[in-house]
Amino acid sequence: MKISIEDKKSFSKKIEVQVRKLLNGDLLFNSHPEIDIVVVVQDGEIHCFPKSDVGYDAYDTQDRFMEYLAKKGIIKRESIRTGSVSNSLIASIHQTTEEGVDPYQVCILYVHNFLKKEEPFFQVLEDFEEGYEEDLLDPDAESSTELGEIPHIEQKGSVPPGKYYGYGYGYRPYVYESVKRDK
């Protein structure tokens, strides 16, 4: 969806935004990896929901988002509150006094700016996770050993193989740790 904000007197900015228009006219931003943002046009509010797999961990991001919008003068700081949906935050959007400026378009611009500001942080995390997985599954020569370099030990751990411990004998594996054995 392309949105243009134009005011011939003061400013003009064209941006491309990843946003979905819902059936009731609200706008859903779901490109952030931790939160979904909904601009509720009918009520003049902005809602922030955690993604289902993130849960409570998204609160810091939600708080950062609301703080960002409050500092930019987009939302009323005193209106930030929890929503009826678990872990959600809601805030009222300021209405403009200037003629020709749509507060929802300005809100969309600042939501876009916040998402762009957060992008590098999550890209670093994504790159780290991909690199970690690659290091585990396909390590380079320096980080791996050839099969056979590490000597095989007949018995590993503290529990001798083949022993059965009945109910109440849970302490025995710890006893075997202190016993000295001949090699």
pLDDT at 132: 83
- 9 against 83, higher pLDDT: 83
pLDDT at 174: 52
Asked if pLDDT for residue 31 goes beyond 60, the answer is: yes
Give the position of tokens 């703080």: 67
What number is the average pLDDT over the span 40-44? 91
Asked if pLDDT for residue 6 goes beyond 70, the answer is: no
Tokens of 18: 């990843």
Task: Give the separation between CA 79 and CA 84, rounded to whole angstroms.
Answer: 15
Which tens digit of pLDDT belongs to each residue from 119-176?
Answer: 888 888 788 888 888 888 888 777 776 665 666 677 777 766 666 555 555 555 555 5
Which tens digit of pLDDT belongs to each residue from 64-103?
Answer: 999 999 999 999 999 999 988 888 999 999 988 888 788 8
What number is the average pLDDT over the span 17-23? 87
Range with the poorest average pLDDT among 3-7, 57-61, 118-122, 174-178: 174-178
Residue by residue, what is the 3-state secondary structure of the chain?
CEEEEEECCCEEEEEECCCEECCCCCEEECCCCCEEEEEECCCCEEEEEECCCCHHHHHHHHHHHHHHHHHCCCECHHHCEECCCCCCEEEEECCCCCCCCCHHHHHHHHHHHHHHHHHHHHHHHHHHHHHHHHHHHCCCHHHCCCCCCCCCCCCCCCCCCCCCCCCCCCCHHHHHHHCCCCC
**DSSP-assigned beta bridge partners for residue 48:** 37, 89
pLDDT at 29: 92
Ramachandran angles phi, psi of 149, nearest 5°: -65, -35
Domain ranges of the chain: 2-137
Q: What pLDDT band is residue 8 in, cutting at 50, 70 and 90?
A: low
